[in-house]
Amino acid sequence: MTRDPVSITCTDLTLRFPVYGADAKSLKKALARVVAVGGALGRHAGVTDVTALQSVNLRLKAGDRLGLIGHNGSGKTTLLRALSGAYEPDEGTIEVHGRIAALLDLGLGIDPTATGLENIRLRGRIAGLTAREVEERMEEITTFTGLGPFLAMPVKTYSAGMQARLAFAAATAVEADVLLMDEWIAVGDAEFQRLAHKRLLKLVERAGILVLATHEVPLLKLYCNKVMRLDGGVASEIVDIRKLDELLAA
């Protein structure tokens, strides 16, 4: 197997979402449409397309920490999900060399009825660790959660802060070359936030590339060295973090 440098490349990436309204999901409506229009099904069955990303070009190499900025609905999360491999482009290509870890939703794979320990195992398995690797990391993860004996209790008995601690510890136990993060995950009390910050920095250091979507300027300045702005699915040039103010003003 050939080994390549860690990198992310997007060329003319265009993503369109078909919006299947509450109506379109009902078979009755779909059938009624076929019957009524009589063969006009080719008109895409009344499904509307929303263009979420429009010809995005992106090239990142190891050491790049890209901050994504833009209004709500500008396509930041969509871009992150596309980079995670969940979405397939309608046009263009996405190419990622390296192990990808997407910390988009801390609650991913968390089962509230299962115990904390079970959830850590499950989350690790989903992230691509083998059962053995999970066991090897178990002690480190459990220590980090600081939940002690509570780990043997179902997650539904946890407070919101405790749940966040667990999810955060489990989600960040992965080894990745490419780290995708949606918003800065500010969780827990002040003490935990300090620990979380340290852990994230370490993760970011280990990871070759970080792509972070956030609205918070201080965080951008703290973690990122490059910035890109999205407006209605159209991406700006990637600029150095020092030009952030110009980009924000634009």
Partner 1 sequence: MQTATHMLRTGRHGALFQLQMAVRDLRNSFGRIGLAWSLAWHDVGSRYRGSILGPFWITLSMGLMVLGIGFLYANLFGIALNVFLPYVALGIVFFGVITGTVTEGCDTFVKAAGMLSQTSLPMFTFVWRTIFRNLINLAHHLVIVVAVLAYYGYWRSADIPLALIGIALMVVNAGWLSLLAGIASARFRDIPQIVASVMQFAIFVTPVFWLPDRFGDNHAVLQFNPFYHLLQAVRAPLMDKAVEPGSYVVLVTMAVVGWALTFAVFARTRRRIVHYL
Q: How far is the CB of 107 from partner 1 (least distance, A)?
A: 8
At 36, which amino acid appears?
A
**What contacts 152, CB < 8 A, 6 or more positions away?**
115, 116, 117
Contact of 175 with 205, CB cutoff 8 Å: no
d(CA 102, CA 179): 6
Binding-site member from 48, 91, 198, 215 for partner 1 (CB under 8 A): 91
Restricting to residues 184-223, name those near partner 1 by CB under 8 A.
208
- Tell me which residue of 123, 114, 131 sits closest to 174, measured CA to CA: 123
Does residue 30 bind partner 1 (CB under 8 A)?
Answer: yes
88 is written with which tokens?
Answer: 């397939």
Looking from the CA of 244 toward its CB, the CA atoms found within 13 Å total: 19
Does residue 177 bind partner 1 (CB under 8 A)?
Answer: yes
Does residue 41 bind partner 1 (CB under 8 A)?
Answer: no
Q: Which stretch binds partner 1 (CB under 8 A): 64-72, 83-91, 160-168, 226-234?
A: 83-91
Q: How far is the CB of 250 from partner 1 (least distance, A)?
A: 28
Beta partners for residue 69, in sequence order: 229
Contact of 67 with 220, CB cutoff 8 Å: yes
Does residue 20 bind partner 1 (CB under 8 A)?
Answer: yes
Binding-site member from 46, 51, 55, 99 for partner 1 (CB under 8 A): 99
Nearer Cβ to partner 1 (96/244): 96
Q: How far is the CB of 248 from partner 1 (least distance, A)?
A: 27
- Tell me which residue of 3, 8, 178 sits closest to 100, measured CA to CA: 178
3-state secondary structure of 133: helix
Q: Which stretch binds partner 1 (CB under 8 A): 64-72, 77-85, 164-172, 217-225?
A: 77-85
142 is written with which tokens?
Answer: 């459990």
Restricting to residues 103-162, name those near partner 1 by CB under 8 A.
104-105, 107-109, 111, 113-114, 118, 121-122, 125-126, 128, 130-131, 154
Does residue 46 bind partner 1 (CB under 8 A)?
Answer: no
Give me the phi and psi of 27, to 5 degrees please: -65, -35
Q: How far is the CB of 10 from partner 1 (least distance, A)?
A: 9
Contact of 101 with 182, CB cutoff 8 Å: no
Binding-site member from 34, 40, 41, 86 for partner 1 (CB under 8 A): 86
56 is written with which tokens?
Answer: 């995005």
At 25, which amino acid appears?
K
Nearer Cβ to partner 1 (122/239): 122
Binding residues for partner 1, per CB under 8 A? 1-6, 13-14, 17-18, 20, 25-28, 30, 62, 81-82, 84-100, 102, 104-105, 107-109, 111, 113-114, 118, 121-122, 125-126, 128, 130-131, 154, 177, 208
